[in-house]
Amino acid sequence: MLINMVAGLFLLADYVYRGMDSSNQRQWILGFGITGAIALTTGLHMSFTWPVIGNFNIAFGETSVLFGILFIAAAIALAQGWDLFTIAVYGFFAGVVAIVVGIRIINLNLTKQPLLSGIGFILTL
């Protein structure tokens, strides 16, 4: 899940850097779709089956579902030629969730290295 998220964030950074003004928007569809599909399925699996001990399933599983839905929606919007504004608004609130979860990971010491994990969540904003 972590490698998928890193790949997705690199794709997103590349899209923001050189893709938003590109005439060929279709080249990001497959990457966004694959990233979203993996994040959504693994996040749903984690949320429904609770494979990890403790509250980690909520913090990591549900945010993975948010990440996956955003990427799938971006892939569909690019494929259809739709505007990305509403996805950006949803992404803003998903970013707020990432900040809150990151702060709570730090406050509650949810991992072995809560400061590093919490900062990682916050920086995915």
Q: What's the pLDDT tens digit per position in 3-23?
A: 998 999 999 999 999 888 888
pTM: 0.88
Q: What is the pLDDT of residues 56-82, one digit of tens each?
A: 788 888 899 999 999 999 999 999 999
Q: Return the structure tokens found at 99.
A: 């900040």
Q: Tell me which residue of 71, 91, 82, 89 sits closest to 25, measured CA to CA.
A: 82
Range of the domain at 32: 2-123
Contacts of 119 (CB under 8 A, 6+ apart): 102, 106
Asked if 42 and 52 touch (Cβ cutoff 8 Å), the reply is no
The count of domains in the chain is: 1
